[in-house]
Amino acid sequence: MVLPFLTGATAAWLGVAGKRRACLWAWFITFVIFIAWCQYHMTDSLPISL
């Protein structure tokens, strides 16, 4: 889970630095990573024995 936080922090830093296009791309990449990891983790079954 470090990767989305790292790319999000990079996007925020780029935004503060005034690099708008790079910032938007970094946010888009963060969003894609988040969606991919949510899809991966939300579709697994939980092996819980009650």
* Cα angle 39-6-24, degrees, rounded to a multiple of 5: 80
Give the tens place of pLDDT for each residue, 4-49. Answer: 999 999 999 999 999 999 999 999 999 999 999 888 878 777 777 7
Q: Which residue has the higher pLDDT, 50 or 22?
A: 22
pLDDT reported for residue 21:
96
Structural domain contains residue 38? yes
Residue 30, burial from CB neighbour count under 10 angstroms (0-12, 13-18, 19+): buried
Structural domain contains residue 48? no
Q: How many domains does the chain have?
A: 1
pTM given for the model: 0.76
Structural domain contains residue 47? no
Structural domain contains residue 50? no
pLDDT reported for residue 40:
80
CA distances from 37 to 7, 18, 21, 28, 44 (A): 14, 29, 24, 14, 11
pLDDT reported for residue 49:
77
Domain that holds residue 6: 2-42
